[in-house]
Structure 1
């Protein structure tokens, strides 16, 4: 079993080398959950098999320029994952990036057997993923593509951005550091020349965007550095008692409102939240199921709900 696992790991390491310009031993060790020493042994095994690997201390490993193995065969699960990944990309990325992805997938399909192509087509016809919200501005269908290109080429991007607290959009020159998906939206961290500091932006608020040929003015740390550095937003503890038969309908939404834990009793489920916005966000969400729940704490949440109800003109 260990020999088989090692064989598959070594093959996977080769594909990592083939797909990237530089691969670090530490990254490989984390990916395959083994020690760095084990990765060193696996790299030596690839070298002994005749794979021309170039390694430099402190940098990483790479394949000699131009070296490629002929196209490999795919397992059944890998083939079916192609169809699933295309549907996921269609749901989660903007139209321009999906078009590029589809072109790349078509090239992969060209290596498949006729029967495998039929299997993918059958799965695609019976796999639908609905987009739950507008994650992108339809007037800017290439926002992700431009940002990806800006990051990879380290070129400044110019954009028109509508901040939520401003009535009018303003112009920005930014150096995009990285992109991440959270909740229902795509975000990116960038150095903003207007603010002369790092800022977080939401992609659907971009009104216009283009990449320039101007290089980055500084060297940026990896994305996780800026995400880890973000100060946690202050929260308010909320406890709500929900009728047990109804509580299951909240399982999908509650995570977006700071859900922490639940305690199940005979007739009720007591849910605990750490809410970032009790006054508007949580209070308005609570009104969707208020006839099935009771606010246990805090008192201010009850006051906010009463204010909203008072303002309603029926």
Structure 2
């Protein structure tokens, strides 16, 4: 990227946040802090009123009027692709907000770029197989985001899957996580006296209270993630399977913590990292005699016990 393009990109970045740190700019463009300082000075000399807060970062004066941001064809295409995924990973409220934003983006594009995007619109689809999962009316994503920004206590009617019971919770939200194809609210639960993970599609009702809580969100969220990572026990698993079986599970293996594989011609050695040996053992059963368990030994014992129980259950038939 040449310097003129970088200066324009820095100006755009300064519009995205109240205060932008010099290190954030340096990391984004792969430049030194000294280069960042020179670029900021060049923008100031060009008439852009950039303020600086010592030890915090840079900001643009609120009264400064900037021209509309023009999107490149590649940037608009990337946003369109994201829009195709939104209905499958959120709810109707978020989808509607995103589509409204997309209309605004299209309104400032050049005519030829609009035509390109219109053609691309009908040529990109997300296919979930023969059974489409209906989009949820609401999983409270917007309400939770609002509570996070305003540090408001949430009142939840939560359905716990493990005991099939509903409970009322007052929680202090610290973050949102998307994993295992679902959104999760991470919050301090006053009932349990600790941080908990609430899957959004199991929240039956949510209310934003007027009560404000006091937590440093970034710090609390990072501490929670670090703690979870430390407690997350995983097992290294090594399998040896026939080549045809390796081809058969080509897609499924990624769901079970696939790491790498070595093909020696007739057989394939695969390594996995997985936290649930019991669930992994059940998956191996489907491979019957086409696979050998090299490690760990207790996984082999687990599969053997499952086979024994199956034999006892079905030997008469």
Residue 166 of structure 2 is aligned to residue 169 of structure 1: yes
Paired with 1:308 and 1:144, the residues of 2 have a C-alpha distance of 44
Within the candidate set 104, 107, 110, 1:107 is matched to 104
* Separation of aligned partners in 1, 2:134 and 2:199: 9
1:137 Cα deviation from its structure 2 partner: 8.7
Q: Which residue of 2 aligns with 1:242?
A: 241
For the 8 Å contact 2:89–2:181, the answer to whether it is kept is: no
Aligned residue-pair number: 309
Q: Distance in 1 between matches of 2:280 and 2:99?
A: 39
Q: Which runs of 5+ in 2 are unaligned?
A: none
Q: Which aligned pairs between 1:116-265 and structure 2 lie closer than 5 A?
A: 116-131=113-128, 138=136, 141-222=138-219, 223-230=221-228, 231-265=230-264
Distance in 2 between residues matched to 1:272 and 1:9, nearest whole Å: 43
Counterpart of 1:10 in structure 2 is 7
Taking the aligned partners of 1:278 and 1:40, their CA distance within structure 2 comes to 53
Question: Aligned partners of 1:78, 1:238: CA distance in 2, in Å?
Answer: 41
Deviations 1:164-210 (A, max 9, x none): 32220211122221212223222232122222222222222222223
Cα RMSD (Å): 2.6
Quick check: 1:283–1:304 contact (8 Å CA) kept in 2?
no
Q: What displacement does 1:33 show?
A: 2.3
| 2:293 matched residue in structure 1 | 295
Following superposition, the deviation at residue 271 of structure 1 comes to 1.1
For structure 1, the residue ranges without an aligned partner over 5 or more in a row are none
Q: Name the SS of the counterpart of 1:130 in structure 2.
A: coil
Q: SS in structure 1 opposite 2:68?
A: coil
Map of 1:286 onto structure 2: 284
SS in 2 for 1:162: strand
Deviations 1:231-289 (A, max 9, x none): 2422333222222133134333323322233221111111122321112x112222333
1:221 aligned counterpart, secondary structure: helix
- Match for 2:31 among 29, 34, 51? 34
TM-score normalised over the length of structure 1: 0.87
- C-alpha displacement of 1:304: 4.6
Contact 2:88 2:135 in 1 (8 A): no
The answer (yes or no) to whether the contact 2:257–2:273 under 8 Å persists in 1 is: yes
1: CA distance between counterparts of 2:70 and 2:141? 31
In structure 2, how many angstroms separate the alpha carbons of the residues matched to 1:264 and 1:167? 45
Matches of 1:65 and 1:261, distance apart in 2: 52
Bigger shift: residues 303-312 or 232-241? 303-312
SS class of match (2:217): coil
Report the alpha carbon displacement of residue 100 of structure 1 after superposing the two structures with TM: 0.8
- Contact 2:240–2:294 under 8 Å retained in 1: yes
Distance 1:203 1:249, change over 3 A: farther
- 1:135 CA drift (Å): 9.1
Do the aligned partners of residues 27 and 304 (structure 1) sit closer, same or farther apart at CA in structure 2, a change above 3 Å counting? farther
